[in-house]
């Protein structure tokens, strides 16, 4: 199989600009189905509704979650039961050339005891492709999200309710194939706008100093030097501009920099598919007291299907994240993640995943004065998905998270159980 089209979709998580809102703690990132055959099981896939030359799929999920540490605190944990309402609508074009897709989903959460924690997350995305010639096309995406910052976020400041923020943006790019050569250019803008939140004492936490625009320009070259093997290089120029020149601590957090890496993507015998890369990340800050970041890094992504019924996903990625910590410019987050999905029956899928992430805040001017903040987060999850029929499915998931930090208040342990019934067409 030719890699070219796949290469353009290769995850660039290792090189993204910082502070991509972490959805790891949201309902959508509990162990779920990915890259397994059951996702494509025709006998259990909703048929959808044909609207002209587009297909409409829509549905509603009802989830019941139990969380034994909803505030992610090291002591005095509080537990609660949360009802999730999860509607979604998906409209996909069915054209021979070009494509236009629309997607909307939401997570409306109601806490049983601590209703101040209630939130309504809304996500909207439109993406499209304009074919120029075969294997060469323009692509674009627009998205708008109204989200909440989970309590497990390292930037949570302990307000009486979760911090809400808007995460909007777009990207535009062009992929071009010429024989065995792939070239790609992409420009993207992401806008983050936070709302203030009150503390229990009545003081208002000013989050306006976190508002920012993140822009990037990505250039990619790939060469399929032999069938199934693609060598690639990527260069991503990044620029982060905060609305306010200085934050509440008088620090100029705007920055710019680049990430560059080279690697190989391969598809081996149809059983193993993946890529590995090594690169370098550099970031310069407007704040003179911040040390510019210069770090080598590596990454890996692999999908292995040893038996045809089992899929193993492995990922290692590194990214530079923004922070509100006054003693750090940002942090380098390196994540290791392994996930196994097994199709026990055509309508029963077992899921397990494990992950480990290191957040290293060693990006400050005077590291000798402070013990650089460092956090290690371990996650572990189990789940089972039972497809009742084409239109209904039942998911039972369990997740365990454990964050260790040299800053005691940032530590937590929590267990989450989630039972979700989803119906859709």
Partner 1 sequence: MTCDPSTWRCHTVSPPRSLPNARLVLVHLLVVVVALSLSGVNAWAQTEPAETAYRLGNGDKVEVTVFGHDDLSGEYTVDGAGNFSMPLIGSVAAKDLTAGELEGLIVSKLKPDYLVNPRVSIEVLNYRPFYILGEVEKPGSYPFVDGMTYLNAVAIAGGFTYRAKKSHALVVRAGGDSDDEARVQLDEMVEPGDTIRIAERLF
Binding site for partner 1 (CB under 8 A): 37, 307-310, 342-346
Cα gap 107→364, rounded to integer Å: 37
3-class DSSP string for 4-18: HHHHHCCCCHHHCCC
Give me the least distance between CB of 43 and partner 1, in Å please.
11
When the beta carbons of 226 and 345 are compared against partner 1, the nearer one is 345
| C-alpha separations of 332 from 18, 117, 141, 269 in Å | 9, 29, 27, 35
Strands (E) located in 94-211: 99-111, 119-133, 136-148, 164-178, 181-194, 197-198, 204-205
Cα gap 62→400, rounded to integer Å: 21
When the beta carbons of 98 and 345 are compared against partner 1, the nearer one is 345
Strand-pair partners of 67: 80, 416
Give me the least distance between CB of 424 and partner 1, in Å please.
24
What sign for the dihedral angle of Cα 193, 195, 196, 197? Answer: negative
When the beta carbons of 36 and 255 are compared against partner 1, the nearer one is 36
Give me the least distance between CB of 344 and partner 1, in Å please.
6
When the beta carbons of 92 and 342 are compared against partner 1, the nearer one is 342
Strand-pair partners of 335: 317, 357
Residue 271 φ/ψ region, left for φ over 0, alpha for ψ in the -120 to 50 degree band, beta for the rest: alpha
Report DSSP state, residue 276. E
Cα gap 67→83, rounded to integer Å: 11
Give me the least distance between CB of 31 and partner 1, in Å please.
19
When the beta carbons of 121 and 341 are compared against partner 1, the nearer one is 341
Give me the least distance between CB of 308 and partner 1, in Å please.
5
When the beta carbons of 40 and 76 are compared against partner 1, the nearer one is 40
415, burial (CB in 10 Å: exposed 0-12, middle 13-18, buried 19+)? middle
Give me the least distance between CB of 37 and partner 1, in Å please.
7
Give me the least distance between CB of 73 and partner 1, in Å please.
41
Terminal Cα-to-Cα distance of the chain (whole angstroms): 32
Give me the least distance between CB of 242 and partner 1, in Å please.
52
Give me the least distance between CB of 269 and partner 1, in Å please.
15
How many CB atoms are located within 10 Å of the residue 254 CB?
A: 19
Strand-pair partners of 124: 104, 144
Contact criterion met (CB below 8 Å) for 351 and 339:
yes
Q: Please give the structure tokens belonging to residue 253.
A: 């957090």
Give me the least distance between CB of 250 and partner 1, in Å please.
60
When the beta carbons of 43 and 366 are compared against partner 1, the nearer one is 43
When the beta carbons of 303 and 379 are compared against partner 1, the nearer one is 303
Of the candidates 302, 297, 303, 337, the one whose C-alpha atom is nearest the C-alpha of residue 318 is: 297
When the beta carbons of 123 and 339 are compared against partner 1, the nearer one is 339
Of the candidates 341, 340, 424, the one whose C-alpha atom is nearest the C-alpha of residue 387 is: 424
**Matching residue, tokens 């342990």:** 413
Strand-pair partners of 104: 89, 124
When the beta carbons of 307 and 368 are compared against partner 1, the nearer one is 307
Residue 44 φ/ψ region, left for φ over 0, alpha for ψ in the -120 to 50 degree band, beta for the rest: alpha
When the beta carbons of 296 and 308 are compared against partner 1, the nearer one is 308
Q: Say which residues have a Cβ less than 8 Å from residue 288's Cβ, sequence separation at least 6.
A: 252
Give me the least distance between CB of 39 and partner 1, in Å please.
14
């Amino acid at each position: 199989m030719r890699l070219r089209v796949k290469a353009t979709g290769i995850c660039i998580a290792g090189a993204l600009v910082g502070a991509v809102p972490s959805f790891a703690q949201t309902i959508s990132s509990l162990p779920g189905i990915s890259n397994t055959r059951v996702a494509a099981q025709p006998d259990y896939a909703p048929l959808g509704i044909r609207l002209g030359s587009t297909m409409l799929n829509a549905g509603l999920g009802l989830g019941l979650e139990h969380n034994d540490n909803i505030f992610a605190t090291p002591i005095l944990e509080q537990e609660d039961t949360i009802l999730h309402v999860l509607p979604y609508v998906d409209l996909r074009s069915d054209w021979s050339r070009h494509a236009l897709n629309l997607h909307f989903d939401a997570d409306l959460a109601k806490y049983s005891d601590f209703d101040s924690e209630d939130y309504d997350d809304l996500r909207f995305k439109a993406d499209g492709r304009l074919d120029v010639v075969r294997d060469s096309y323009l692509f674009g995406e627009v998205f708008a999200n109204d989200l909440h910052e989970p309590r497990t976020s390292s930037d949570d400041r302990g307000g009486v309710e979760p911090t809400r923020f808007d995460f909007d943006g777009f990207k535009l790019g062009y992929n071009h194939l010429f024989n065995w050569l792939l070239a790609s250019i992409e420009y993207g803008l992401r806008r983050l706008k936070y709302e203030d939140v009150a503390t229990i004492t009545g003081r208002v936490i000013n989050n306006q100093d976190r508002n920012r625009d993140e822009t990037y320009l990505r250039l990619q070259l790939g060469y399929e030097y032999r069938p199934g093997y693609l060598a690639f290089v990527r260069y991503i120029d990044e620029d982060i501009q905060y609305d306010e020149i200085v934050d509440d601590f008088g620090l100029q957090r705007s920055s710019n920099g680049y990430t560059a890496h080279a690697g190989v993507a391969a598809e081996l015998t149809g059983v193993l598919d993946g890529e590995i890369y090594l690169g370098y990340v550099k970031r310069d800050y407007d704040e003179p007291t911040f040390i510019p970041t210069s770090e080598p890094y590596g990454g890996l992504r692999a999908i292995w299907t040893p038996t045809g019924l089992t899929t193993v996903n492995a990922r290692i990625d590194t990214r530079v994240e923004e922070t509100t910590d006054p003693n750090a410019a940002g942090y380098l987050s390196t994540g290791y993640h392994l996930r196994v999905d097994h199709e026990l029956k055509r309508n029963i899928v077992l899921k397990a995943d494990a992950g480990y992430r290191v957040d290293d805040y060693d990006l400050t001017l005077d590291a000798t004065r402070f013990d650089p903040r460092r956090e290690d987060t371990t996650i572990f999850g189990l789940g089972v998905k039972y497809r009742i029929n084409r239109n209904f499915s039942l998911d039972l998931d369990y997740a365990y998270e454990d964050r260790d930090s040299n800053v005691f208040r940032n530590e937590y342990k929590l267990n989450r159980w989630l039972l979700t019934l989803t119906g859709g067409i």
